[in-house]
Structures are given as C-alpha cells and as structure tokens.
Chain A
Amino acid sequence: MGRMDEWPAWQRWGIWLVGWVLYLGPFWLLFTTDSLALRLVALAVLCGGLLLLTYSSKAVLNERMRKIDRWQLYVVLPAMLVYMLLMLYVFPREAHIATPWLKALVALSPTLPLIFVAWAVVRYVNRCDEMERRQHLEAAGVAVIVVSLGSMALGFLGAAKLIALDGALVLLMVLPVLCVVYGLACTWSKWRNRAR
C-alpha cells in the first residue's frame, strides 16, 4: 500500500471525498435521529471519517503524516468525541436542573474538552516547523480580523435596530466561526505552498 501521500492523485482525492461523506453523513444523522443506537453508530462512523479526512487532507497536499500530526489527531479526536457526547447528552439536561451551581456546571461542561483541544493546538503549533508557525500566525490574524469586524458590523446593525440579535447565540458562534476562518486560512496557505 505505501504511504498515502505517495498514492496516485485520484486515489488520494477519492479517499478524501469518502472521508467527507463519512464525516458529514453521521453529523447530519446525529441531529435528525432520536435513536440512541443510531447516534452511537453515527458517532463511531464520524470518528472514522474524521480520521480518514485528516490523513487524506495531508495526502492531497502531498504531505506525509508526521509524529506530531498523529499526536495531534489522537489527542484531539477523543476530546472532540467527549465534546459531542456532552453536547448531545449532558448539556440539554440543564433545562431540568433548578440548583444554580449545578445548572452552571452542566451548562459549562462542554467547555472542558474544548480547553483541552486549545492546549493541544498550542502544543501542536509550537512543534510545527518555522514556516508552518508563520502560516498559523497569519491564519489566526485573519480569523481575528474577520470575526471582530463581523461582530462589530452585526453590533452596529443590532444597535440600529435593523436586525434582532440573540446575545447568547452570537457569543456561542464566536469560537466555531473563529475556528472555521482559521482552518480555511490555514488550508489556503498550505494549498498555495503545496509541493508538486
């Protein structure tokens, strides 16, 4: 079989597409089914899809999986699994809890695995090579600019009473949008420098 980054381009892109299907399909299923068994199967398939997607994403950019990439994957994947389980099964319980401190504990529980992921990302970036660290810095800068300008624009529109904003929802969206823009900026930078 050999290393995935040495496979022919159509195989690497094919595996990458399969990875996306195995990632997005179960994701959709998680939010549309109430069956516990189906949700557990979806979570397992989603993890497999994420694993495949990470390996193939490196391969389509002609990059090998290094020790630090594998470390990052094997640390972040379980943490994200814990996060999804907390979001699906623990966070919704806060609506039925009256004690304030317990309600706060349950409501804040999904942030614990995310703190762990943040630590893992910092550790990963510190172990990347010098050009990759510059790419991460640029991507973080782009993400901060996009999110802060977007937030400011939304704030102006809200202050002008042109749109109605749900404060909690807007705050909840900050981290995911930051991560998506950061990821896109990183991918764009890596794509420009992909080796042929």
Chain B
Amino acid sequence: MKNRVRELREAQGWSQGELAEHLDVSRQTINAIETGKYDPSLPLAFKLARLFKQRIESMFEPDEGR
C-alpha cells in the first residue's frame, strides 16, 4: 500500500515521534507505515485521516505491483 503519511507529516512540521504521540503508537510503527513495510489497520488509518483532515482514499492507495 502506498501512502502520503510522510508528506502530510512533513507538511505539518512534525517529527515521526510527534506524530506517534498524537496517535498513541510507537515511533517505529510510524516509520514502518511511511516506508510501506506495514499497512495500518482500518481504525489506525481512520485516526491518521482524521488527524490530517483527509479522506482515507486520498491518503492510501493500493500498490498494484505487490
């Protein structure tokens, strides 16, 4: 799954640690999501979308190659 989490986080001027604190997850979880190593669950994806005031489908896109 491709996502725009890094782009949106950087636009807010947040570090991975700060985003992790907002979402109550570990920093490595944010890193794994941003690098595409881990796809978040629906509840976490909704939390991310709400935090960045985005629609889920505009943040996450299926990676057709995988």
Interface residues of A (CB under 8 A from B): 5, 61-64, 66, 128-132, 134, 190, 193-196
Task: Determine the chain A residues whose CB is within 8 A of the CB of B27 once the complex forms.
Answer: 62-64, 195
- Say whether A129 contacts B31, CB under 8 Å: no
Whether A195 contacts B38 in the complex (CB less than 8 A), given A63-B26, A190-B28, comes out as no
Task: Determine the chain A residues whose CB is within 8 A of the CB of B40 once the complex forms.
Answer: 130
A6 to chain B, nearest CB (A): 8
B45 to chain A, nearest CB (A): 11
- Say whether A195 contacts B44, CB under 8 Å: no
The yes or no answer to B5 lying at the interface (CB within 8 A) is no
The CB with the most chain A CB atoms within 10 A, among B21, B31, B40, is that of B31
Per the 8 Å Cβ criterion, residues 1-57 of B in contact with A are: 16-17, 20-21, 24-32, 37-38, 40-41, 44
Whether A193 contacts B31 in the complex (CB less than 8 A), given A129-B24, A129-B25, comes out as yes
Task: Determine the chain A residues whose CB is within 8 A of the CB of B44 once the complex forms.
Answer: 129-130
- Say whether A131 contacts B29, CB under 8 Å: yes
15 contacts between A and B (CB under 8 A): A62-B28, A63-B28, A64-B21, A64-B27, A129-B44, A130-B25, A131-B32, A132-B26, A134-B38, A190-B28, A193-B37, A194-B28, A194-B31, A195-B16, A195-B28
Complex CA distance for A107 and B62, rounded to whole angstroms? 57
Complex CA distance for A5 and B38, rounded to whole angstroms? 23
Complex CA distance for A5 and B15, rounded to whole angstroms? 13
In order of increasing CB-CB distance, the 9 nearest A-B pairs are A195-B31, A129-B25, A193-B28, A131-B29, A195-B27, A195-B16, A193-B32, A131-B38, A130-B41
Task: Determine the chain B residues whose CB is within 8 A of the CB of A194 once the complex forms.
Answer: 28, 31
Complex CA distance for A129 and B28, rounded to whole angstroms? 10
CB nearest to A128 among chain B residues: B26
